[in-house]
Amino acid sequence: MKVKLDGIEKHFRTVWMKGSTVCMIDQRLLPHRFKLLKCRNYLDTIEAIKNMTVRGAGAIGATAGYAMAQAALESANLRKPLKYLFMAADKIKASRPTAQNLFYAVDRVCNAINNEETLESAVKAAVLEANAIANDDAEACRKIGEFGNTLLGVKDSVLTHCNAGWLAFVDNGSALSPVYAAKAAGKQIIVYSDETRPRLQGANLTSWELLNEGIEHYVIPDNAAGAFMRDGRIGLVIVGADRIANNGDTANKIGTYEKAICARAAGIPFYVAAPTSTFDVNCRSGRDIPIEYRSEDEVHWIYGMTEKGKRGRVKVTPEGSKALNPAFDVTPAEYISGFITEKGIIFNENKGFDFEKLWK
């Protein structure tokens, strides 16, 4: 998507690879500062995934693929390259345990490596496959926008949670892609963006994206969404996903489950937008999805911009209080109206979801 810097619009992807360096937008600094980060080796790239310099399902997946390609490049001069690659794959997979796209990307690059007969050709294949994963992600999200746009009226209002825009993918996004497609089609869309505690991805990232695109939007407190639904201000809910189980149960940013319950009570459609790379066919239900718990500090402290224009943090809890910080929750399939994918929309027919067409 385009970012305006010093009055000039320039197209950026969330993450890309240049030579052996992985480049990405540092999302920790947004919306107040736009900066690019360069990761010189696969360990640096893993750290960027862990500390959420890069975050979001597709962006994590693409970054993991690039990390695996970096490991392949680094292994070319080692005595035991295969041992190095196995170790790298395990470390990358351990960086964010809930994100299915991460596992998908690592396995895809590893398969490309395994299909080659020489180390030289394997290294080249790893880089090519990592770039292919990123390109596929951007194209899948573009198609999600096309299909999702059909759900939006000429004038409509959408609630979204966390950030599932282009910053969460390589480009275009999932939950926001239909909104961008609707704007391009001349529709008037209002977006209500949950702030999304504790890391405030909705307040910081979704709002920044929508502001850049000139789309009317309002950042709302997480606990205001139910009231807005009840009052008829929201036409539908579209969220992203970090892992979708074989029965349709969906893991997404913590707080998504509550929004699904409110949408059901208000009679509002609740959609999940995600590429097929987010579906885990080996995961039977939401009970099998590992839920990442992050540091208590993300709950105790909030980062922001001071009046003097400096980035800082403030503590919002008393000294000695403990915190629990699950990064995700699971929304049961029964609460989901449909899945918006690059292969079309799969609706809930009251008998569960027929995902077979996704794999044809």
- For 331-340, how does the pLDDT look when each residue is reduced to its tens digit (9 = 90+)? 999 999 999 9
| 86 and 113 share one domain | yes
| 211 and 283 share one domain | yes
Q: How distant, in Å, are the alpha carbons of 45, 175, 207, 278, 291 from that of 12?
A: 19, 19, 17, 23, 31
Active site residue 171: no
Residue 349, pLDDT score = 82
| 304 and 354 share one domain | yes
**Would the pLDDT of 161 be above 80?**
yes
Written in H, E and C, the secondary structure of the chain is CEEEECCEEEECCCEEEECCEEEEECCCCCCCCCCEEEECCHHHHHHHHHCCCCCCHHHHHHHHHHHHHHHHHHHCCCCCHHHHHHHHHHHHHCCCCCCHHHHHHHHHHHHHHHCCCCHHHHHHHHHHHHHHHHHHHHHHHHHHHHHHHCCCCCEEEEEECCCCCHHHCCCCCCCCHHHHHHHHCCCEEEEEEECCCCCCHHHHHHHHHHHHHCCCEEEECHHHHHHHHHCCCCCEEEECCCEECCCCCEEEECCHHHHHHHHHHHCCCEEEECCHHHECCCCCCHHHCCCCECCCHHHHEEEEECCCCCEEEEECCCCCCCCCCECEEEECHHHCCEEEECCEEEECCCCCCCCHHHHC
Q: What is the mean pLDDT of residues 59-63?
A: 97
The C-alpha angle 299, 101, 277, rounded to 5 degrees, equals: 135
| 115 and 252 share one domain | no
| 75 and 22 share one domain | yes
pLDDT band at 179 (very low <50, low <70, confident <90, very high): very high
Residue where a domain terminates, one of 141, 159, 179: 141
Residue where a domain terminates, one of 88, 117, 141: 141
Residue 297, pLDDT score = 96
| 293 and 166 share one domain | yes
Q: Phi and psi (nearest 5°) for 196?
A: 70, 75
Strand-pairing partners, residue 9, are 4
Q: What proportion of the chain, given as a percentage, has pLDDT over 90?
A: 89
Residue 255 in contact with residue 161, Cβ under 8 Å?
Answer: yes
Residue 32, pLDDT score = 92
**Would the pLDDT of 208 be above 90?**
yes
| 117 and 150 share one domain | no
Average pLDDT, the chain: 95
Q: What proportion of the chain, given as a percentage, has pLDDT over 70?
A: 100
The range of the structural domain enclosing residue 167 comes to 144-359
User: Which residue carries 């292994």 as its tokens?
Assistant: 75
| 190 and 300 share one domain | yes
Residue 260 in contact with residue 75, Cβ under 8 Å?
Answer: no
Residue 305, pLDDT score = 85
Which of 139, 324, 336 minimizes the C-alpha distance to 241?
336
> Of the given ranges (77-86, 287-296, 337-346), which has the lowest mean pLDDT?
77-86
CATH number assigned to the domain comprising residue 279:
3.40.50.10470
CATH number assigned to the domain comprising residue 23:
1.20.120.420
pLDDT band at 352 (very low <50, low <70, confident <90, very high): confident
| 181 and 124 share one domain | no
Annotated active-site residue in 156, 242, 249, 329: 242
Q: Based on the number of CB atoms within 10 Å of its own CB, is 127 exposed (0-12), middle (13-18) or buried (19 or more)?
A: buried
Structural domain count of the chain: 2
- As a whole number of angstroms, the distance between CA 6 and CA 294 comes to 36
Residue 6, pLDDT score = 75
First to last CA, the chain: 30
| 130 and 165 share one domain | no
Residue 1, pLDDT score = 82
173/359: higher pLDDT? 173
Residue where a domain terminates, one of 141, 162, 197: 141
Q: Output the CA torsion sign for 92, 96, 98, 104.
A: negative
Which of 112, 34, 36 minimizes the C-alpha distance to 71?
112
| 103 and 186 share one domain | no
| 164 and 118 share one domain | no
Q: What is the mean pLDDT of residues 25-40?
A: 96
- For 128-149, how does the pLDDT look when each residue is reduced to its tens digit (9 = 90+)? 999 999 999 999 999 999 999 9
- For 282-296, how does the pLDDT look when each residue is reduced to its tens digit (9 = 90+)? 999 999 999 999 999
Residue 90, pLDDT score = 97
